[in-house]
Amino acid sequence: MMQPPDPAELLAHDQDHHHTNISGGWLRAAVFGAMDGLVTNIALIAGVGGGGGDRHLLILTGMAGLVAGAFSMALGEYASVGTQNDAVANEAAVEREEIRRHPDVERAELADAYERLGLTRATAESMAREIHANPELAVKVHISQELGVDVDEQPSPWVAAISSFLCFAVGGIIPLVPFLLGSSTLAVGLLVGAVGLFVVGALTSRFTTHSWWFSGARQLLFGAIAAGATYLVGMLIGVGIAG
């Protein structure tokens, strides 16, 4: 029989062993929303500014992009997460029916999976038998082994949608701040947007193994590529119209 852990070791483990809560669908939607809001509006401002747009046009373009993008992101996240959850539920129903119709085959399949993980055949078969004694537990374990998801821990479409909407709006407003405060210089708006990209990128390093400067620089590079491309398009179209 396994010995219980030493109380001092258990206390140290409880103090040191912490995981960031990344379930619920909020993290990906929030990061994607903030980055998309920043890059979208930086690129829009660069393109319109490159075409000769004035301060009023830059604000109009940026606000229109912010509102349209925030709703688009939210609706897209809600639809994609909801569809994913429905797909997992459908796979669970399929697995439940397979366990009902072919219990021995499914039990052997689970034992094979455990054996591939490195367990002895006897231990793998014992675990599979115990799990299959509870049909709903068997469904959960099979789905986890075969699809890598937990049927009871699916992300919320509402959480993903709201996170995406709010973070896109926050990201989208950052490059507009100088113009809303009275500036009409394109370079200032782009500089503020670049700082926003670096800061948001650096903050995401908290959830990854990358350094803050690498994450920040990477997002800054992505934004610079998008802004440079749209600025060039704006210049070409603006010059063409003027001519």
What pLDDT was estimated at residue 242? 44
The Cα 99–Cα 79 span in angstroms is 30
The Cα 62–Cα 56 span in angstroms is 10
CA distances 42 to 97, 172, 188, Å, are 51, 8, 11
Mean pLDDT of 138-142: 94
What pLDDT was estimated at residue 28? 77
pLDDT above 80: residue 19:
no
Mean pLDDT of 153-176: 94
Average pLDDT of the chain is 88
Sequence-ordered alpha helix ranges (H) in the chain = 7-16, 26-50, 55-101, 103-116, 121-132, 135-147, 157-173, 177-180, 186-204, 212-242
pLDDT class of 207 with cuts at 50, 70, 90: confident
pLDDT above 90: residue 32:
no
What pLDDT was estimated at residue 238? 81
Specify the pTM.
Answer: 0.80
DSSP string, 130-155: HHHTSHHHHHHHHHHHHHS--TTSPP
Q: How many CB atoms lie within 10 A of CB 78?
A: 21
pLDDT tens column, 77-126? 999 999 999 999 999 999 999 999 999 999 999 999 999 999 999 999 99
pLDDT above 60: residue 66:
yes
User: Which of the two residues, 185 and 19, has the higher pLDDT score?
Assistant: 185
The Cα 23–Cα 21 span in angstroms is 6
Which has the minimum average pLDDT: 37-41, 146-150, 225-229, 236-240? 236-240
